[in-house]
Amino acid sequence: MIVQDIVEKLGLKVCSGANGLNREIEGGYTSDLLSDVMGNADENHVWVTLQTHKNIMAIASLKELAAIVLVKGYEPEADAAEQSNEEGIPILSSEEEAFELTGKLYEIINQAK
């Protein structure tokens, strides 16, 4: 399963990092606490959060996450989007809240396994 698959299945908006839509997804993590994500998310995970500032990209890059999905229609700040384009790690956006979105992602990712 790649990032493009969840974009299509969940109707997500691609805010930035479209050059990374072919990144492999192996799981996910949902949290708004950066240290929690740093300590517990893993490589090739998709990260669901409401944080939109540049530090989410530092985390995504250091942890080699597959993509970030922002909830409730949030958009990344300009410098976050810029780094997302540079690194090819997509930032996506969903109109849904974290609970609903995480549930759907969990189902889709597990079906693909």
Partner 1 sequence: MEFKFEIEGGNFSKAGSASSEVKKILKQLNVNPKIIKRTVVSLYEAEVNVVAHAFEGNMNVDIDTDKIVVKIEDRGPGIPDIDQAMQEGYSTATPQVREMGFGAGMGLPNIKRNSDKMNITSKVDVGTELEIINYFG
C-alpha 111/C-alpha 91 separation (Å) is: 23
**Residues 96 and 74: beta-carbon distance below 8 Å:** no
Site track 39-78 with partner 1 (rule: CB under 8 A), x = hit: x---x-----x-x-xxx--xx-xxx---------------
The CA distances from residue 26 to 2, 29, 40, 77, in Å, are 9, 11, 14, 26
Closer by beta carbon to partner 1, 7 or else 98: 98
Half-sphere exposure of 75 (CA within 13 A, CB side): 7
- Region of 1-9, 11-19, 31-39, 97-105 interacting with partner 1 (CB under 8 A): 31-39
Closer by beta carbon to partner 1, 62 or else 113: 62
Residues that bind partner 1 (CB under 8 A): 32-36, 38-39, 43, 49, 51, 53-55, 58-59, 61-63, 79
